Amino acid sequence: MGLDPSIVKELIRITDEERVLLSLDERYTYAFDASFGTYLPDVVVFPQSATEIAEIMKLANREQIPVTPRGGGTSLSGGPLPVAGGIVLAMTRMNKLLRIDRDNLIAFVEPGITTAELQREAEKAGLFYPPDPSSSNVSTIGGNLAENSGGPHGLKYGVTKHYVIGLEVVTPQGEIIRTGGMTVKNVTGYDLTSLIVGSEGTLGIITKAVLRLIPKPPARKALMAIFDEIVDSGRAISGILKNGILPAKLEMMDQASIRAVENYQPSGLPLDAAAILLLEVDGHPAAVDEEIRKAAQICRQYAAREVRLAADEAERAELWKARKLVSPAISQVKPTKISEDATVPRSKIPEMLERLRQIREKYQLHLVVFGHAGDGNLHPNIIADSRDRDEMKRVEEAVAEIFKAAVELGGTLSGEHGIGTMKPAFMEMELGSAGLDMMRRIKQAWDPNNILNPFKIFPQPGQTRVVLTE
């Protein structure tokens, strides 16, 4: 194993010695992400410019070495895993916020900046960058773009791709191209920006991005509604949206999530409730006041047994704390957490919840459900122990059934985590062979040597299962 010394020498020539990691322990740090599997790269390189990356891609094509770009490594689907070894391009040193242009409401960034830093800088300028994946303190904008990250704001504000108007990209064969530009309106040729965003690092390496910002909403208010029947919480969601209210966030937690949180850090949540909805509206203060009152009334109308209105910012933060604690809380139950993001049309949420209940019983698993109910993007999480082979086999089957349920209900395998190494086996079920073939044609046309982030998105021949173990 290992790269030919002449190639290492060339990588050092393109960058410098300090930016090429070769030792086993250093490489090991870049062998995993927040999903499953450990794949050791042969070398980790920290590029500092598009030109360096272009040179590396040309070298990689000449020598047939796989290249995997990597941001914060928070992917839940295996995006940055160097499955075939080769070169990991760690983008974290290209982390400058180049400029916030208040006149044009745009930000120019390098890919290695964290999502949270961009959000803070936008806020300082009185502006707002809505996409809010929960890993925002660690995840990079480059990773968010590669995966088209979502988050709670998706319901009202859309997802990452709705805020990307231009890119600088190094193609798989090492050309530097620019896509889109500085204007929201742009129909000059095919929309390569949207094609590259969400392509999970398989079609190009983003080296610069132009992001659209919006004016910061001047006010926001939140409430928590507690339900005895999960189906009532689903009806309340539809009721709110039908009444012309578009909340900034509309999240739900099922009983298992509520209990996990209370067990982890008592927060005054009702242990006997079937479901909790957390809702936030933002905008003009008068609109916010009226909408939060109306939303509370609708929740009560759909049999919420209690509605807690946050009176101020402190209480608002307190309400959201419960939701933020779900992930750490459930991680305490067992060591292995399989976080899914199958997404259904919002009207199908009650049916999806019922299907998830059946799957939990059939496979006798610890399955917790929470997530972005307002846009149909639930997070069924299975808590297991990866050392228990029998349990993991049941997990794999349960996950396959979750995907099947989502697709049968008119939904999709993945709302915001991506396909990566975890879900390729199920692509054809959703897309059909012709649909998948049209995607594959693009990959082949752009990356004829299959150098850039191989083994992602597209199933290998005979691949039929979820990748939970190597």
Residue from 62, 120, 216, 321 binding its own copies (CB under 8 A): 216
- Strands (E) in 266-414, as ranges, are 275-283, 304-309, 336-339, 366-372, 377-384
Question: What is the C-alpha to C-alpha distance for residues 15 and 343, in angstroms, rounded to an integer?
Answer: 42
Nearer to its own copies, 2 or 432 (CB): 432
Question: What is the C-alpha to C-alpha distance for residues 207 and 166, in angstroms, rounded to an integer?
Answer: 11
What value, to the nearest 5°, has the Cα angle with vertex 366 and ends 79 and 144? 20
Report the nearest approach of its own copies to the CB of residue 461 (Å): 18
Report the nearest approach of its own copies to the CB of residue 184 (Å): 6
Transcribe 196-207 into DSSP letters: HTTSTTSS-EEE
Given the rule CB under 8 A, which of 10-18, 135-143, 265-273, 435-443 is the region that contacts its own copies? 435-443
Nearer to its own copies, 40 or 287 (CB): 287
Residue from 12, 37, 108, 162 binding its own copies (CB under 8 A): 162
Question: What is the C-alpha to C-alpha distance for residues 53 and 385, in angstroms, rounded to an integer?
Answer: 39
What is the CB-side half-sphere exposure of residue 291 using CA atoms within 13 A? 24
Which position has the token pair 């109308």?
301
Distances (CA, A) of 375 to 230, 241, 295, 399: 17, 10, 17, 21
- In the window 21-60, what residues touch its own copies (CB under 8 A)? none
Check binding of 317 to its own copies (CB under 8 A). Answer: no
Residue from 44, 159, 365, 392 binding its own copies (CB under 8 A): 159
Report the nearest approach of its own copies to the CB of residue 163 (Å): 10
Residue from 89, 176, 383, 451 binding its own copies (CB under 8 A): 176
Question: What is the C-alpha to C-alpha distance for residues 67 and 36, in angstroms, rounded to an integer?
Answer: 19
Check binding of 189 to its own copies (CB under 8 A). Answer: yes
Nearer to its own copies, 222 or 240 (CB): 240
Check binding of 143 to its own copies (CB under 8 A). Answer: no
Report the nearest approach of its own copies to the CB of residue 114 (Å): 20
Residue from 445, 460, 461, 464 binding its own copies (CB under 8 A): 445
Report the nearest approach of its own copies to the CB of residue 326 (Å): 19
Residue from 98, 182, 271, 317 binding its own copies (CB under 8 A): 182
Residue from 96, 332, 438, 469 binding its own copies (CB under 8 A): 438
Nearer to its own copies, 85 or 411 (CB): 411
Report the nearest approach of its own copies to the CB of residue 9 (Å): 28
Tokens encoding 447: 């990356």
Contact yes or no for 97/121 (Cβ under 8 A): yes
Question: What is the C-alpha to C-alpha distance for residues 20 and 38, in angstroms, rounded to an integer?
Answer: 20
Check binding of 248 to its own copies (CB under 8 A). Answer: no
Instruction: Tell me how far the alpha carbon of residue 447 is from its chain's centroid.
Output: 24
Nearer to its own copies, 19 or 294 (CB): 294
Closest CA to 328 of 260, 427, 395: 260
Nearer to its own copies, 328 or 448 (CB): 448
Q: Using CB atoms within 10 A of its CB, is residue 49 exposed (0-12), middle (13-18) or buried (19+)?
A: middle
- Strands (E) in 373-438, as ranges, are 377-384
Tokens encoding 218: 């001047």
**What track of x and - describes contact with its own copies for positions 363 through 382 (by CB under 8 A)?**
---------x--xxx-----
Check binding of 435 to its own copies (CB under 8 A). Answer: yes
- In the window 251-310, what residues touch its own copies (CB under 8 A)? 283-284, 286-287, 290-291
Closest CA to 178 of 188, 186, 189, 170: 170
If binding means CB under 8 A, how many residues of this protein chain bind its own copies? Answer: 92
Nearer to its own copies, 8 or 429 (CB): 429
Residue from 130, 143, 198, 380 binding its own copies (CB under 8 A): 198
Contact yes or no for 425/77 (Cβ under 8 A): no
Report the nearest approach of its own copies to the CB of residue 251 (Å): 14
Report the nearest approach of its own copies to the CB of residue 413 (Å): 5
- In the window 87-106, what residues touch its own copies (CB under 8 A)? 101-106
Report the nearest approach of its own copies to the CB of residue 246 (Å): 6
Q: At what angle do helices 389-408 and 427-446 cross, to 10 degrees?
A: 90
Cα-flanking dihedrals φ and ψ of residue 370, to 5°? -150, 180
Residue 347 DSSP label: G
Closest CA to 175 of 61, 299, 274, 263: 61
Check binding of 323 to its own copies (CB under 8 A). Answer: no
Nearer to its own copies, 252 or 260 (CB): 252
Check binding of 344 to its own copies (CB under 8 A). Answer: yes
Tokens encoding 154: 């998706």
Helix or strand (DSSP H, E) at 366? strand 366-372
